[in-house]
Amino acid sequence: ELNIQGRPFDDDDIESHSCYLVTGPKEGYFFFGIEPDGAQDRFYCAKTTDGGKSFQFLGWISPSLEEAPKYERWAVYSAVEVSKGHLVAALRRKISKRRGKIQRLNWIDVYESKDSGRTWSFLSKVADTDVVNSDHNGNPPSILKLKDGRLCVTYGFRAKPFVMCAKFSSDNGKTWSEPIILRTGARNWDFGYSRSLQRPDGKVITVYYFATPTNRDQFIAVTIWDPDKVK
């Protein structure tokens, strides 16, 4: 059971999605989600200073239930610390109704906090992860800070041509480049959920699940690529 001090919700609401940033031997930011009373997911930031024995609730990332209708969703997130106390989080977004009409959209947004996770604000849209009115659920992002200071988000685009992509930001997430293609050839929309890390030699390892027309069962795949070649 998580010991989250100051939390404004019940234990029963906590979801399994999580993300964490280690900032010291016993310190780190943790990002959790809740789903209160069947409403849409809502995400928040907490911090530990005792190696995970306890957590302090810091602030909400996504809007309150009063500000966002039930048919909007924030889910499956990834975060980085771009400088001391300046956090940037990428979230998977979905909406199933717009202006009173059924219109399904899937995309990735980024939010930022400049006060160590206490308050958050919308920063920018990164990319669409599917076409309009698709029956699928979009794809979650993985965000990392490269050694040259750029931010990088990797994700899967779950419509034809079914590709793994990456985008870059040189201004801490305010604007984003055009996508580069990391891999093509998925047999259908069921792929993605990437996680990316940068190696000491500067190359990026992007891990995801995938399937091809000749290997139809999903498998764990890796693409190793050089971000310096796409500046």
Task: Name all domains of the chain by residue range, CATH numbers in brackets.
Answer: 4-186 (2.120.10.10)
Give the pLDDT band of residue 18 (cuts 50, 70, 90): confident
Give the pLDDT band of residue 74 (cuts 50, 70, 90): confident
Residue (of 126, 36, 31) closest to 80 by Cα position: 31
Residues 26-36, mean pLDDT to the nearest whole number: 87
Q: What is the pLDDT of residue 212?
A: 97
Q: What is the mean pLDDT of the chain?
A: 89
Q: In what order do the strands lie in the sheet with 142-145?
A: 142-145, 151-157, 163-169, 180-183
Q: What is the pLDDT of residue 61?
A: 92
Give the pLDDT band of residue 173 (cuts 50, 70, 90): very high
Beta-carbon contacts of 112 under 8 Å, excluding residues fewer than 6 positions away, are 86, 87, 88, 89, 120, 121, 123, 172, 173
| pLDDT beyond 70 at 40 | no
Residue 29 CA, chain-centre distance (Å), reads 15
| pLDDT beyond 60 at 38 | no
Q: What is the pLDDT of residue 75?
A: 78
Cα end-to-end distance, the chain, whole Å: 45
Query: What's the length of the chain?
Result: 231
Q: What is the pLDDT of residue 94?
A: 84
pLDDT tens per residue, range 179-211: 999 999 999 999 999 999 999 999 999 999 999
Q: What is the pLDDT of residue 16?
A: 63
Q: Whole-angstrom Cα distance, residue 192 to residue 185? A: 12
pLDDT tens per residue, range 98-137: 666 667 889 999 999 999 999 999 999 999 999 988 888 8
Residue (of 78, 218, 230, 116) closest to 166 by Cα position: 230
